Structure 1
Amino acid sequence: MPHDVDLIILLAVGFGLALIFGYIAARLRLPPLIGYLFAGIIISPNTPGVVGDIHLANQLAELGVMFLMFGVGMHFSLKDLMLVRRIALPGAILQIAVATLLGIGVTMLWGWSFGSALVFGLSLSCASTVVLLKALGDRGLLDSVNGKIAVGWLLVEDLVMVLALVLLPATAVLLGGVSLNDDSGQNIWLTIGITLLKVAGFIAFMLIVGKRLVPLIMQFVARLGSRELFTLTVVAAAVSIAYGSYAIFGVSMALGAFFAGMVVKESDFSHRAEEETQPLREIFAILFFVSVGMLFDPRIIIEEPLHILAVVAIIMIGKTLAAMALVLFFRYPLNTALTVGASLAQIGEFSFILATLGVALKLLTLEAQNLILAGALISISLNSFIFTAVEPIQRWIRERSHLARLLERSGDPLAMLPDEVDQSNLRDQVVIVGYTPTGRHIADQLQAQNIKVVITDQNREVVENLREKGIAAVSGKPTDPNVLIQAHIMHARLLVLRTMDILDIHQIVNIAKQLNPQLQIIVGAESVEEAKVLREENIGQVYFAQEEMAKNITGDILTHIERVHQSSH
């Protein structure tokens, strides 16, 4: 077979098997990337049958890494992270430390060097963004408080891993590995200093020049009205910045692609850029996972079953329990702890990238890489079952009062109104459930009229910020009667409910009406159909945003026509 068709063979067989195994994984309700990894295993040199070119696969994997990191950068939201920073920042860093220490402890017992143990532990500490977003999206949790905490937590993990990818080549010699550059005789601290200066220079360049230049170019191309040119602009920005970061600043292409995604996100055309490059990013992500599968040697499962069990235990038990303990320590409810724990009970793309870099730096052996790949395959496969177990575990704990008292937020100051609020004088107030932009606007307007307001929100950081401003606020899930009791719903004149699940609306209204039969209720509906159902049930005054906007626009149009009509006469 001529050499020049190796790429075509790899793509044809790789994509074909990825499609078949991805479909099988989806039918089994597993993430399709499990199927892509299996497709790579089938065409790997370690298994019989068709063998793909591993060198070509590695180059395609590099492209896959760049587009994966570009996607991570486009999804990175500093605003979302700031909303949950008080739990996500310390929680993620402490959880990474715990998982890394567990990995170091176990591998040192196996007789590994400290450098190998450190890289191995770091590889087990970071969950997969792809798996997490899919799992939360499938369960409708992405926009929930629990989902935002899990995503914010993972964003911090991603940043830590990006930093590790930057620092690892500089510290490889110190850790017992080899340098990828010709600076082996250079002082190690000087190497680290130069690396950090290069990274700082690249970040400064991207924030000062890239943040302005890339959106400007996108705006210029968008005016031409050519869809393919716009897509090409975004792809060229991703690849050029990634390569430029490596060639000019000497930092990793992964970091360059990450910042390329961040600056594209700053553009007014970010949604269009994300939508139009998504198919391409997904194709290269599939190639990345196929190439990772090609590196895996299935013999490790037979040769080192106890080592694999230890790895899976660190990922799915050690890491999960550490995350849950930290969430409970920050006084979030049990449901949040279980959701975050389930979200992080797997490893993925950053683990593969770190493992590959570790092998290149001679810090990890191929056996270590195979253990990481086996841990990823097993943990991702079982992750959906862990999510399914969240509700039964929660019920089991709550049926045992001693456990529930120990784990739930007993005596939580944010679950009660603060002492500064004169509760004896708290009458005829408006209780607002959920401090959304709409809720914020309503609260500001009411307070401007000297009308008392109490706000309930599930995000503890929102409640803390409100209390710092002197606004009465209670933390907790509004379907919990204690939350409405703490908001003094029995003395309120009005309850305002944001758009939420219709079953939750019914539950909250039933609790509120039992406590205060005279209470007036205003509800925001998510859709026309939901608004119709709620109105038929006579729950209260129901508003649907698009409907109200249409009424206001129609009113303005009629007023304008009337003025024109009067002026013409």
Structure 2
Amino acid sequence: MHHATPLISTIVGGLVLAFILGALANRLKLPPLIGYLCAGIVVGPHTPGYTADQALAPELAELGVILLMFGVGLHFSLKDLMAVKKIAIPGAVVQIAIATVLGMGVAWGFGWEWGPGLVYGLALSVASTVVLLKALQERNLVESPQGRIAVGWLIVEDLAMVLTLVLLPALAGLLAPAGEAGSGGAAASSGDILLTVLSTLGKVAAFVAVMLVIGRRFIPWMLERIVWTGSRELFRLAVLATALGVAFGAYSLFGVSFALGAFFAGMVLAESEFSHRAAEESLPLRDAFAVLFFVSVGMLFNPMVLITDPWGVLATLFIIVVGKSVAALCIVRAFGHSTRTGMTIAVSLAQIGEFSFILAGLGVYLKILPERGQALILAGALLSIVLNPLLFYMLDRYTAKQEGEGEGDPQPA
């Protein structure tokens, strides 16, 4: 029995390489996320040497998605969002719309139909939670006015992407190019599509109702009983079972995605008095599977796209770093905030990450997004995450200069 199975070799190879390259990235003052993605590239099929199992990696990544979304739900704060709702909600919606339109324009230049262009643009419109929070924490900006706006803005983006992930399978027949997924949108009548969307929303509504009526009472009650046992091990297992069990139950009973189920499990748990402990106890396992998720994403990336499709990569990067950031800056300034606050929000959002990967993967699976689109999104994510610390360095210098000149930050009424 002492032999390396594909499961063991995939997990060990992915985690060990992720640790080595993540530590190297951290040493170079880059987000460790870059190292995890590069580890996936190294063990992927597009580079020589050892290749991880191509069937097991996506399944491990699915566990990573569940735990990532559970973490997003755990940290979801309606109170934080309401505190900055006047700018975060309209700002995020308008910025998503602008980035999506820019993406659709570039996709039109590629010769794609509007459906693939819509998915491509949406994937470029949402920033990485991991990268944004790390950058704000390093500068002690999370509790600052601009930090609160950035976090609230990110919450709205995350909610928009959760809704997109729910509706995308229902709209696949309309969005898929002709010749894909059956005969594409032409084969599906508007009535069939409307019926599918209503059915999907009905299942989601039923799941949400169950979680709000039963889940928000049962889950805290269960955790309270586990706390009384005094067993830290059982509490940690209870949190993990809640995340995975609700995600799987949502999929099996309501046809809802694992991601949405895990998000609501985290959101319901966030309301209980044990939320902070649950977040702390589940963090190691969430981090481990999140690493495997990013490794599996890196396995999909072909570095040759940087050589074979440079203009596509540059156009993608331009939307992420310039188009989206300029839109955010203009929106923040239009609401009466200072240029410094606007630039902080703009730089914070000048990257993409985990939701973009999930959306791109789903788009390819549903035969809406071409594989070229996924390759460009992955390239744009890698490059934008690498550039983000440089942008923050430039912002720090600008902030220091403005503080020397005594600029204030008037807040609108």
Band of TM-score, shorter chain:
over 0.9
1:241 aligns with 2:246: yes
For the pair shown, the structure with the greater C-alpha radius of gyration is: 1
Cα pair 2:174 2:188 within 8 Å, conserved = no
Tell me the CA shift for residue 391 of structure 1: 3.8
* Deviation, structure 1 residue 191: 0.2
Residue segments in structure 1 that go unaligned for 5+ positions in a row: 410-414, 416-457, 465-569
| Residue 205 of structure 1, CA deviation | 1.1
Does the aligned pair in 1 maintain the 2:242–2:265 contact within 8 Å?
Answer: yes
Query: 1:422-473 CA deviation, whole Å, 9 max, x = no partner?
Result: xxxxxxxxxxxxxxxxxxxxxxxxxxxxxxxxxxxx5x4xxx4xxxxxxxxx
Report what 2:297 is aligned to.
292
Distance 2:28 2:41 in 1: 19
Deviation at 1:392, TM superposition (A): 3.6
Higher helix share: 2
Shift of 1:178: 2.7
Matches of 2:20 and 2:118 in 1, distance apart? 37
Counterpart CA distance in 2 for 1:367 and 1:90 is: 32
Matched, 1:126 2:126: yes
Is the aligned partner of 1:72 residue 2:34? no
Root mean square deviation, CA, Å: 2.1
Query: What is the aligned-residue identity percentage?
Result: 55
1:194 paired residue number: 199
**1:532 matched residue in structure 2:** none
State the 4+ residue runs in structure 1 displaced beyond 6 angstroms: 1-4, 183-186, 395-400
Aligned length in residues: 404
Q: Unmatched 5+ residue regions in structure 2?
A: none
Q: Give the superposition deviation at 1:393.
A: 4.0
Give the match's secondary structure for 2:50.
Answer: coil
Partner of 1:37: 37
Aligned 8 A contact 2:223 2:238 in 1:
yes
Amino acid at match of 2:207: F
Deviation of 1:287 after TM superposition, in Å, equals 0.4
Q: By percentage of residues, which structure has more strand? A: 1
Please give the alpha-carbon distance, in whole angstroms, between the structure 2 residues aligned to 1:50 and 1:98.
Answer: 42
1:380 aligned partner, one-letter code: I
Map of 1:106 onto structure 2:
106
The aligned residue for residue 359 of structure 1 is 364
SS of the residue corresponding to residue 268 of structure 1 reads coil
- Residue deviations 1:100-127, cap 9 Å, x none? 0000001101101111100000000000
Q: Is 1:302 aligned with 2:307?
A: yes
TM-score by length of 1: 0.69
> 1:145 is aligned with what amino acid?
P
TM, length-normalised to structure 2: 0.94
Amino acid at match of 2:216: K
Residue 11 of structure 2 corresponds to residue 11 of structure 1:
yes
Contact 1:334 1:394 (C-alpha < 8 Å) held by counterparts = no
User: What is the letter of the counterpart of residue 234 of structure 1?
Assistant: V
Alignment of 1:266 onto 2:271: yes
- CA distance in structure 1 between the partners assigned to 2:23 and 2:295 by the alignment: 14
**Alpha-carbon distance in 2 for matches of 1:231, 1:42:** 33
- 1:82 and 1:392 map into 2 onto residues whose CA distance is 31
Question: Per the alignment, in what secondary structure is the counterpart of residue 137 of structure 1?
Answer: helix
Which residue of structure 1 lines up, in the alignment, with residue 170 of structure 2? 170
Given that 2:204 and 2:256 are in contact with CA atoms closer than 8 Å, whether structure 1 keeps it comes out as: yes
The equivalent of 2:334 in structure 1 is 329
Question: 1:446-502 CA deviation, whole Å, 9 max, x = no partner?
Answer: xxxxxxxxxxxx5x4xxx4xxxxxxxxxxxxxxxxxxxxxxxxxxxxxxxxxxxxxx
Matched with 1:93 is: 93
The Cα of 1:263 is off from its aligned counterpart by 1.0
Measure, in 2, the Cα distance between the counterparts of 1:219 and 1:273.
Answer: 11
Which residue of structure 2 lines up, in the alignment, with residue 383 of structure 1? 388
Q: Who is 1:478 aligned against?
A: none
Match of 1:231 in 2: 236
Cα distance, 1:173 vs. partner? 0.3
Give the equivalent residue in structure 2 for 1:141: 141
> 283, 287, 291: which is aligned to 1:282?
287
Q: Which amino acid aligns with 2:18?
A: A
The answer for the alignment partner of 2:210 in structure 1 is 205
2:378 counterpart (357, 373, 380): 373
SS of the residue corresponding to residue 173 of structure 1 reads helix
Would you say 1:343 and 2:345 are equivalent positions? no
Contact 1:10–1:52 (Cα < 8 Å) also in 2: yes
For residues 232 and 378 of structure 2, the distance between their equivalents in structure 1, rounded to whole angstroms, comes to 39
Q: Deviations over 1:180-215 (max 9, x none)?
A: xxx979811100010011111111111111111100
Question: 1:254 and 2:259 equivalent?
Answer: yes
Return the letter of the residue paired with 1:311.
Answer: T
CA shift, 1:394, in A, is 5.4
How far did 1:335 drift?
A: 1.2
Residues 395, 278 of structure 1: alpha-carbon distance in 2 compared, 3 angstrom cutoff = closer
**Residue 231 (structure 1) shift:** 0.5
Structure 2 residue 312 is matched with structure 1 residue 312:
no
